[in-house]
Amino acid sequence: MSAVLVSTSSSSSASAPVLAATDSLDGSAGLTADVRDISLSYGSKAVLQQLSWQLQPGQVVGLLGRNGAGKTSLLEALLGLRETQAGQVQLFGQAATALDDAARARIGYVPQHSDLFEGFTARQLLAYFKSFYPRWNEAKVEGLLSRWDIPRDQMIARLSGGQQQRLSIIRALAHEPDLLVLDEPVASLDPVGRRDFLRELVDQVLDRGTTVVFSTHILSDLERVAFNLAFLQQGRIAVQAPLDSLLEEVRLVVGSSTAIQAALAGGSAELLRRHIQADGRERCLLRFAPGQAPHDGPGLSVQALNLEDLFVELT
Of 207, 234, 261, the residue at which a domain comes to its end is: 234
Pair (116, 223) in one structural domain: yes
pLDDT at 34: 97
Q: Is residue 50 part of a domain?
A: no
Q: Is residue 180 part of a domain?
A: yes
The rounded distance, in Å, linking the Cα atoms of 228 and 245 is 9
Q: Is residue 29 part of a domain?
A: no
Could you give the number of structural domains in the chain? 2
Pair (219, 251) in one structural domain: no
Pair (204, 60) in one structural domain: yes
DSSP code per residue over 53-87: EEE-TT-EEEEE--TTSSHHHHHHHHTTSS--SEE
Pair (130, 251) in one structural domain: no
Buried b (16+ CB within 10 A) or exposed e, 226-236: bebbbbbbebe
The rounded distance, in Å, linking the Cα atoms of 307 and 180 is 23
Pair (179, 298) in one structural domain: no
Pair (225, 302) in one structural domain: no
Of 206, 234, 262, the residue at which a domain comes to its end is: 234
Pair (279, 179) in one structural domain: no
Pair (188, 60) in one structural domain: yes
Pair (106, 230) in one structural domain: yes
Question: β-pairing, 179-183 with 107-110?
Answer: parallel
Of 182, 210, 234, the residue at which a domain comes to its end is: 234
Question: With the C-alpha atoms ordered 257, 260, 265, 268, is the resulting torsion angle positive or negative?
Answer: negative
pLDDT at 89: 97
Where helices occur in the chain by DSSP H, the ranges are: 71-78, 101-104, 122-130, 138-147, 161-173, 191-208, 219-225, 243-249, 257-264, 307-314
Q: pTM for the whole thing?
A: 0.84
Q: Which domain holds residue 252?
A: 243-314
Phi-psi region of 163 (alpha: psi -120 to 50; beta: other; left: phi over 0): alpha
Q: Which pLDDT tens digits describe the chain residue by residue (315 residues)?
A: 333 344 333 333 333 333 333 344 445 568 999 999 999 999 999 999 999 999 999 899 999 999 899 999 999 999 999 999 999 999 999 999 999 999 999 999 999 877 789 899 999 999 999 999 999 999 999 999 999 999 999 999 999 988 998 999 999 999 999 999 999 887 778 888 888 888 877 776 767 889 999 898 888 888 877 789 999 999 999 999 999 999 999 999 999 988 888 777 766 788 898 889 989 899 999 999 888 888 898 889 999 999 999 999 998
pLDDT at 28: 58
